[in-house]
A = this chain, B = another copy of it.
Amino acid sequence: MFVVMRPNSAEEQVQNVVRLLSDMGARGHVITGATRSVVELLEIGNRLDRTKLERAPGVEKVLDEPAPILAADRAAGAHPLEIRLGGRATLGGRRIGVIAGPCSVESEETLLEIAVGVAEAGAVALRGGAFKPRTSPYSFQGLEEAGLQMLAHARERTGLAVVTEVMCCEHVERVQPYADVLQVGSRNMHSTPLLKAVGQQQKPVLLKRGWCATLEEFLLAAEYIIHAGNPNVILCERGIRTHEEYVRNTLALSVVPEVKRLSNLPIIVDPSHGTGRAHLVAPMSCAAIACGADGLLIEVHVDPKRAWSDGAQTLNLDEFRALMQTLPAFARAAGREA
């Protein structure tokens, strides 16, 4: 249980709640957020009087687990963030930003060709995995160090910001010199040590929603990062696992306006993983922009059929260019630019 204080309640009021709890035989653990405090209840016995707590000065409400959002809480006054990716590009401002590139970094030549192509088409950042989370230990696990160097080289040549995945605490330090944005993938959204590690450095973090995570778990994963010291979190909806069979995942777009309502963080959409089908990427990109997304994350390859992973959901450069030309009309309809 949690006693949520009103924004800017006095320290004295918080201490009063702690005393009340002590009188009721429980213990209160104070959590200090950006705009307000919350008191967690430990060792709750049978003398607890919920109504008394609800009526104490400065208390907004009493909640059961899990804990509320604190740092990114829009309702408590947190201002919408515009996050700089590296170079001139930002996400969360008026302009829609598109991050594009291959699933895995495969070779210097292929990566450069893709990077130049997506940059010319208007992308603001390059995605590409050097460490790959694969279902099977017998599948390709990524080029690691060599892949990171290729990404850095592509950045030099194109000016694109580089977004790449970290899968464990040890990766964070290794990836830092090469990346502008650190991605925490869907499989690792629940890994709290990793969330703390990316929170203890200052590059922006692209946090993908776990494929079975609730919205609350998603927002609280962001809170881990912010709480550890890094407020620059970009959320990414990438589809959830459902009973549907014609798609790899069900792209759950209503999370976009809900995140905008609850939190101050930018949110982008990955229609490549979110559908798993290349022919659905363009229409779902338009839908994402229409409901308020701040950007897109799209898998692009010079030859999707020869891609080492995720070929079925990857656009070729022609398809990507065509998509980029359809976005501005939807962005304008949504009061944005692209």
Task: Please give the residue numbers on chain A whose beta carbons come within 8 Å of chain B beta carbons, in ascending order.
Answer: 2, 29, 31, 38, 40, 42-46, 65-67, 70, 133-141, 167-171, 187-188, 190-196, 210-212, 214-217, 220, 223-224, 227-228, 240-247, 250-254, 256-258, 261, 274-275, 277, 279-280, 283-284, 286-292, 305-306, 308, 326, 329-330, 332-334
- Cβ of B217 and Cβ of A135 under 8 Å apart? yes
Q: Which residues of B contact A241 (CB under 8 A)?
A: 212, 243
Whether B227 lies near A246 (C-beta < 8 A) is no
Q: Which residues of B contact A137 (CB under 8 A)?
A: 67, 192, 195-196, 220, 223-224, 227-228
Q: Are B253 and A244 interface neighbours, CB within 8 A?
A: no
In addition to A187-B190, A215-B245, 20 A-B residue pairs with Cβ atoms within 8 Å of each other are A42-B140, A43-B308, A44-B306, A45-B305, A67-B135, A67-B136, A137-B196, A168-B169, A188-B190, A188-B191, A212-B212, A212-B243, A240-B242, A254-B275, A256-B283, A257-B284, A284-B291, A287-B288, A287-B291, A290-B290
How far apart sit A188 and B314, CA to CA, in the bound complex (Å)?
27
Docked-complex contact B216 and A245, CB < 8 angstroms = yes
- Find chain B residues with CB under 8 A from A306 CB: 43-45
A286 to B256 alpha-carbon distance, docked (Å): 13
Residue in A244, A284, A305 whose Cβ sees the most chain B Cβ within 10 Å: A244
CB-CB under 8 A for A250 and B246, given A167-B192, A168-B169: no
A308 to chain B, nearest CB (A): 6
Task: Across the A-B interface, give the 9 residue pairs with the lowest CB-CB distance, nearest first.
Answer: A212-B212, A67-B136, A290-B290, A329-B333, A187-B190, A168-B193, A287-B291, A287-B287, A257-B283
Whether B220 pairs with A135 at a CB distance below 8 angstroms is yes
Minimum CB–CB distance from A207 to chain B (whole Å) comes to 13
A-B residue pairs in contact (CB < 8 Å), sample of 25? A2-B138, A65-B136, A67-B136, A70-B138, A133-B191, A134-B192, A137-B196, A137-B228, A168-B193, A188-B190, A188-B191, A210-B212, A212-B212, A214-B244, A214-B245, A215-B244, A215-B246, A252-B252, A254-B274, A254-B275, A254-B284, A257-B279, A284-B291, A287-B290, A329-B333
CB distance from A22 to the nearest CB of B (A): 15
Q: Is the Cβ of A192 less than 8 Å from the Cβ of B242?
A: no
Given known A134-B192, A283-B292, A306-B43, contact A252–B244 (CB-CB < 8 A): yes
With a cutoff of 8 Å between Cβ atoms, the chain B residues found around residue A227 in the complex are 137-138
CB pair B139 A66 closer than 8 Å: yes
